[in-house]
Every structure is written in structure tokens, then in C-alpha cells.
A = this chain, B = another copy of it.
Amino acid sequence: MGGGGRLAAELIEEVFLAGYGNELLNRLDDAAEVEFGPARLAFTTDAFTVKPLFFPGGDIGRLAVCGTSNDLSVKGARPRHLSAAFIIEEGFLLDELRRIVGSMRASATEAGVEIVAGDTKVVRRGEADGIFIVTAGVGELIEGMDISCGAARPGDAIIVSGAVGCHGASILNAREKLGFTPAIVSDVAPVRGIVEALEPAAAAVHAMRDPTRGGLASALNEIAAASGVSVRIFEDRVPVAPGVRACCGVLGLDPLYMACEGRAVIVADPARAGEILRLVAKTPGGRGAALIGEVTGRRLEPGLPPVAVETGIGTKRFLPLLDGEPIPRIC
């Protein structure tokens, strides 16, 4: 489910869950678990409306492949097959479409998935903005990994697989022509390698999430809400790239709310946190991994946000779920 803001959360809750809520959808995981005989699968979808279509480090096609396969990965599944549906505005350049499709193919190879089904609809000029892509994906749940957004336990360690906010800052810098140089490069990438590296420690991993819309802060809020726990992170342990920090500083934005598209937040047994950190750091996408905080306990105060951050000088502030999206069309 696409979270990332309180309005989105309310929309989902009020309209969609009330409309056709069921046990699987109610869990609000990144992917639904479905069974076909002995086969245990994960199934998910995401819509991509990013603007601009091409940005440093990626494009809408790479995003559409990585976004959906990452949702399968953080559910503890091996991504296998994707579908891709295109809604294209009349007059959209065929050369750009070719470039996007080429990028999807390369990203699919990198993510170890195959695009096996597709659809294309063309609408008139002014009825869409260039191109929108919706991907869905199926994967095979990894034996022994039992991961759900609602399975974080008091005492658990919180690990992030790399620097946060790169994707969001990259889009903002490109779209608003902020002029930060060198260009801020999106982190969009498959997290499959990171998740599969955790297999030896599978039983110790309780919850995972890829912090896309609304960034790390929103992902932690979603985990905390689904698990009924509170969370504390330490600001100076959260890796943030210098360009992202500079961009956010100038605009008064918090990097903790900026989208990532190639990171995983891992909530795990604290006794095995060191081992997990080492496993993640050995993967190409996980070199910047860091232990950033902990699950502090069952949620006690219903009036207060469940996620707090402690600064280097010992002050504490809450990281509430934001009203609405901080940045539209980020993915």
C-alpha cells in the first residue's frame, strides 16, 4: 500500500479498506501473502507518476521495476515476475518510450525479474502527463523468513541499509532546478541482494520496509502503528549524503521524510543486530548500512506520535506522520 502521509493513510483507510477491506489488505504490508497449494507467494502493485521522467540515477522505468520488486523483497520474498501497464499521452515521444523500456529491461535483469505481462492505453493530449506506469509483481516467499510490518517487538534493533533521502532530493533538485551540483543522484536500485543476504539470519528479522514516499520517518511510523510499538532513532546515526543534507537545509526539509528507492529498513532481534549489519554491509547496495535505533516498547500514549528521534545534543523530537505528501509525484 502506498503510505507516506496522513491524508493518504486516511484515504486508504476510509475508502479502500471500508470499500473492500479483507484480512490481507488490512495488514497494510508492502505486499500481500497468497497461497497456491504449497507455494507461498507475495503479490503487490505500485503506480508511478514521477516527474521528471528522467533524473540523475534513474528514470520512471527503473523506478517502476525497482519499486515493485523492492516491495516483494521487503516482504521477505524473491521477486520473480512483473507486469507493466502504461498509460501514455498522445504525442509522447517514441524515443523516450524506447529509452524507458530499455531501462526497464536493464533494471529487470539487475533485479532478477522477468516482465511477462503488459498493457498499453493511449489517452488524448491533456488527459495524462506524458506517461504513467503501473507495475505489479509476484515473488516466492523465502523459507524461514516471516516478515510483516506488524511484527516489530520491543527491544528490536532498527537498521537502515544506506543513506536516506537521495531519491527525494534528487527529484526535487531536478524538477525545481535547484542547481545543487554535483547533481544529487537517486538511490533507486533493487534491494533484493540485501534481503537475500539476510537469509542466514532470517529468523531474527521481524519487519522490513522500503522507505519510499514519506521516507524513513513514514516507514517507521507505519511499522510502529502496525506493530503497536514505539520507536526511537538517533539522528547522528542516520546516514545522510552531504548533497541531500545541503538541499534539505536550504529548503527547510527534513531528510528523514525524503523518499528512498533503494534502501531497506530492517527491524530485527537485537542479539543478532551486529551479524545482520555485517551481512547487509557486505552487499553492494548495503555498504552504508547503519544501526540507527530501537523499538522502545509497547505503545503507551495514544496521543503522541510513536516515533521519536534523539539529536546529538540529547534533545528529542517526534516524527509524526505528515499531513499529505511532502512532495508530489516523487515516484
Contact = CB atoms under 8 A, between A and B. Distances in A.
Interface in A33-57: 34, 36-39, 41, 43-49
Interface in A87-146: 87, 94, 97-98, 101-102, 104-105, 108, 114-124, 126-129, 132, 134, 136, 138, 140
Contact of A2 (B120, B126, B325): B120
Interface stretch (A14-22, A217-225, A310-318): A14-22
B34 A81 contact: yes
15 contacts: A1-B117, A2-B119, A15-B94, A20-B115, A24-B117, A43-B81, A43-B83, A45-B85, A45-B134, A47-B119, A122-B325, A127-B129, A128-B128, A128-B129, A136-B136
B47 A85 contact: yes
Contact of A15 (B25, B101, B119): B101
Given A11-B120, A116-B32, A47 B101 contact: no
A124 B46 contact: no
Contacts of A2: 118-121
A8 interface: yes
Interface string A1-16: 1100000100110011
Contacts of A126: 126, 129
List the number of copies, as a whole number. 2
A16 to B, nearest CB: 6
A80 interface: yes
Interface string A319-331: 0000001001100
Given A34-B80, A129-B127, A19 B101 contact: yes
Interface of A: 1-2, 8, 11-12, 15-16, 19-20, 22, 24-25, 31-32, 34, 36-39, 41, 43-49, 80-81, 83-87, 94, 97-98, 101-102, 104-105, 108, 114-124, 126-129, 132, 134, 136, 138, 140, 325, 328-329
B86 A47 contact: yes
B129 A32 contact: no
Question: Which 9 A-B residue pairings sit nearest by Cβ, starting from the closest?
Answer: A136-B136, A19-B101, A45-B83, A134-B134, A32-B116, A20-B105, A36-B39, A39-B39, A127-B129
A43 B44 CA distance: 12
A20 B128 contact: no
Contacts of A39: 36-39
A83 B84 CA distance: 13
Contacts of A41: 36, 138
Contacts of A47: 85-87, 119-121, 134
Contacts of A8: 120, 122
A43 B117 CA distance: 7
A223 to B, nearest CB: 18
A94 B10 CA distance: 12
A98 B11 CA distance: 10
Contact of A49 (B19, B24, B123, B329): B123
